[in-house]
Amino acid sequence: MRLVFMGTPGFSVPTLKALVSGGHNVLLAVSQPDRPGGRGLALRPTPVKAAAVALGVPVAQPETLKDPDFGRNLEEIELDAIIVAAYGKILPKWLLGLPKEGCLNVHASILPAYRGAAPIQRALMDGVEETGVTIMRMDEGMDTGDILLVREISVGPGETAGELSARLSEIGAEAMVEALDRLAKGMLDRTHQDHTRATYAPKVGKEEAGIDWSASCRRIKNLVRALNPVPGAFTSVHGRRVKVFQVAEVRKDALGGFEALENGTVVDFKSDAGPVVLCKDGAVALTEVQPAGKRAMSGVEFMRGRYVAVRDRFGHD
């Protein structure tokens, strides 16, 4: 098929690669503009741009999809479909109706659940045990289009957003290639979404990333893994912010009578894990953290570096 691909982050790259290796004619890869990053704030190519260049696929990076030159260039191409995987911007009506078969999207949830920008993070925050990807024909709504193909998977009990995203990106790539193969053979069914069952997954705000130590161990653990690697759940101690990337639950009967102390208090230090912090229904050990201005480190290194001691109390900034 004659395709244009639209995507920006690392999640998008497996789909682009699968389209090319699957024999499809990817005429153009559209990605958001390069942004400054790193200590020197030098411009960095988006993961999709870097992959497209390596594959020999031409790249366009319009600042806006309303750019008339961009629109004219696309209209001159005879397209079967536009494939979208985490492009990061809403597609205008003119673009949705441009290709013969429309715009097909890889979405990282089982629609209509978790419509929106952060389906993986929100699903993990909710502690789901199953998720998957949906191949959808896009319309003008936010993830409201007809469902073309679904692939479901189980979520590991300690799986992070980064790990789950990597798995779903590969599954989504395979599903998109299968959907296109079925489409070419006239064997791809379309199913309307049940909008009454829709749930939403807006981008996670900074204020949501702070750990509430009055919450349950399970809720804290789910927040931490949902925000690993970015933006990272955080807490603070001695006025200094600490990002938390991994925690382990500690049995309540192993707390040694410290249950009466305030939530967020360090009550123990496990030599094989790190500081143990009280929460609503028990405690968690901080097993991987990053103090402000420092590298990420194990909970044991954090404790040995005297960043925190027993009876210190974690809280919000």
Query: 179 near 104, Cβ under 8 Å?
Result: yes
* Segment 189-219, tens digit of pLDDT: 999 999 999 999 999 999 999 999 999 999 9
Residue 85 predicted with pLDDT over 90: yes
- pLDDT over 80 at 288, yes or no: yes
What pLDDT, on a 0 to 100 scale, did the predictor assign at position 36? Answer: 84
38 confidence band (pLDDT: 50, 70, 90): low
Task: Name the residue range of residue 288's domain.
Answer: 206-304
Q: Is the pLDDT of residue 282 over 80?
A: yes
Query: Does the residue 315 lie in any domain?
Result: no
pTM: 0.95
| Residue percentage of the chain with pLDDT more than 90 | 86
CATH of the domain at 257: 3.10.25.10
Q: Which of 197, 227, 255 is the last residue of a domain?
A: 197
3-state secondary structure of 304: helix
What is the number of structural domains in the chain? Answer: 2
Domain boundary among 175, 197, 219: 197
% of the chain residues with pLDDT over 70: 96
Residue 137: CB atoms within 10 A of its CB come to 19
The answer on 159 and 71 residing in a single domain is yes
To which residue do tokens 């990061």 refer?
88
When pLDDT is averaged across residues 111-133 and rounded to a whole number, the result is 98
* pLDDT greater at residue 260 or residue 70: 70
Q: Report which secondary-structure segment, H or E, holds 241.
A: strand 240-250
Last residue of a domain, one of 180, 197, 214: 197
Does 244 share its domain with 115? no
Contact 49, 23 (CB under 8 A): no
Q: Is residue 33 domain-resident?
A: yes
CATH code at position 124: 3.40.50.170
Q: Which of 21, 25, 18, 22 is nearest to 4 (CA)?
A: 25
